[in-house]
Amino acid sequence: MEKGDYDTAVLQAVKRLRSNPDHKKASNILPMAYEYATLYHLDEITRLKSSTAQFKYDGVVRHYEQMNKLYRAIDRCPACKDLVYNPKYYQQELDESRLAASKAHFDQGVKDLEKRTMKMAREAYKHFQRAHEYTPEYDGIDQYLAESLEAATLHVMIDDIPIHSRSLNLTNEFFQNQIIEEVKRFNYAFVQFHTVSEVDQFNIEPDEIVLIKFDDFVVGQTYVKETQIQRSRDSVEMGHVETEGGKMPVYGTAKATVTHIFKSVTSTGLMDFQVVNANSGQTLKQSKLPGTYIWEWDWGFYNGQEEALEEEDLEIVRRKEAYPPPPQELFIAFTQPIYNQIINQMKRYYQVHN
């Protein structure tokens, strides 16, 4: 209270009196703090009402709401009700102020909407939202909310992604569906994304078109490297001989040739990403987005004596030849980093409309 924060002083005093109805300091502070808080809010309300500020009733509403908050806090505290003389709940005044605030925002929303630009339609929609928050039943507000939102919304069509391959039977359905599903989860306030079929079905006139196409791609470029390694190890027990003292081990040098085979299958592509104006055809944004996926495997075999092999050789020769995924899986794999780039590009480009 000494710092002039009368609302907090009231609420803290109420809190202490709820837990301890005989709290002396809180009992002394509460009536004084409530009186000062009420005087402060009423003075501010008088000042705001006499001003020429367009949205002055926003502030008036906040002050009435704050006084009602203090009233409810005191009303739920039996010990407090005996200490505060005639606390008041300002319901009628609040309702009248909300209506006045609604009217101010509604009138400005209508003016902004009449300018018939997307930017001003967004401002209008925000004003209609504020009007609706203050007075949900304000006459005609639902119609104006819908009208302004439609005028404020940027409609973006995601064009079908062409794919051409003479030798491979590939489909980009998974890749394209991933993009569409993700961008629709952006949930931007003033952007809607549509497929080509949705545009046709609902007669939507897009403002912008996202064009995505491959400049080039290669699926399944195979590279095989075969390496032979000579191994030898001395003092290896090669067998036994009979002597007068019995069987004795025979030591010698073990030798082997290890054949190490390494195979990689590279799939790569370059995607052209563009955003164009649907009316003028002007390119608004363009990027080249690369993607690569490399499948790798190695295995081997040996000729000679196993005793000559190193531990790493044993790991290699235990493995058998494996075969890469089918072309469609390789295609999906190398498009994943491209997909991530596309989503990031679209997030950054369209988030200004949020």
Q: What is the CATH number of the domain that holds 193?
A: 3.30.160
Cβ of 30: how many Cβ atoms within 10 Å?
26
Domain-located, residue 178: yes
Strands (E), 163-245: 191-195, 208-243
Q: Are residues 119 and 262 in the same domain?
A: no
For residue 158, tell me if it sits in a domain.
Answer: no
pLDDT at 165: 66
Closest to 163 in 3D by CA, of 209, 199, 215: 215
Domain assignment present for residue 134? The answer is yes
Residue 76 in any domain: the answer is yes
Say if residue 226 is in the same domain as residue 198. Answer: yes
- Residue 21, helix vs strand vs coil: coil
Q: What is the pLDDT of residue 161?
A: 87
Alpha carbons 83 and 182: distance in angstroms, whole number: 59
Same domain, yes or no, for 290 and 191?
Answer: yes
**Has residue 203 been placed in a domain?**
yes
- Tell me: do 284 and 307 sit in the same domain: yes
205, 297: one domain: yes
Pairing mode, strands 246-277 and 283-304 = antiparallel
Same domain, 81 and 114: no
Q: What is the pTM of this model?
A: 0.77
Residue 94 lies in a domain: no
pLDDT at 164: 67
Q: What is the pLDDT of residue 173?
A: 83
Q: In the chain, count H helices and then E strands.
A: 11, 5
The pLDDT value recorded for residue 166 is 60
346 shares its domain with 225: yes
| Residue that finishes a domain, picked among 45, 63, 89 | 89
> Does 196 share its domain with 345?
yes
Q: Which residue has the tokens 């489909």?
A: 171
Does one domain contain both 230 and 325? yes
For position 248, what pLDDT does the model report?
Answer: 82
pLDDT at 239: 78
The C-alpha atoms of residue 235 and residue 241 are separated, in whole angstroms, by: 16
Q: Are residues 273 and 203 in the same domain?
A: yes
Phi, psi angle pair for 3, to nearest 5°: -85, 0
Query: What's the pLDDT score for residue 74?
Result: 95
Strand 154-158 to strand 208-243: parallel, antiparallel, or no bridges (unpaired)? Answer: parallel
Q: Residue 95 domain-assigned?
A: no
Q: Give the domain extent around 120.
A: 102-152
Task: Render each residue's pLDDT in the chain as its tens digit; 354 residues.
Answer: 889 999 999 999 999 999 999 899 999 999 999 999 999 999 999 999 999 999 999 999 999 999 999 999 999 999 999 899 889 999 999 999 999 999 999 999 999 999 999 999 999 999 999 999 999 998 999 999 999 999 999 999 999 988 766 666 677 788 889 999 999 999 899 999 999 999 999 999 999 999 999 988 899 899 999 999 999 998 878 777 777 777 888 888 899 999 999 999 999 999 999 999 999 999 999 999 999 999 999 999 999 998 899 999 999 999 999 999 999 899 999 999 999 999 999 999 999 887
Going across the sheet that includes 191-195, the strands are 191-195, 154-158, 208-243, 246-277, 283-304
Domain count, the chain: 3
| pLDDT attached to residue 162 | 85
Does residue 337 share a domain with residue 196?
yes
Tell me whether residue 259 is in a domain. yes
Q: Residue 148 belongs to what H/E stretch?
A: helix 141-152
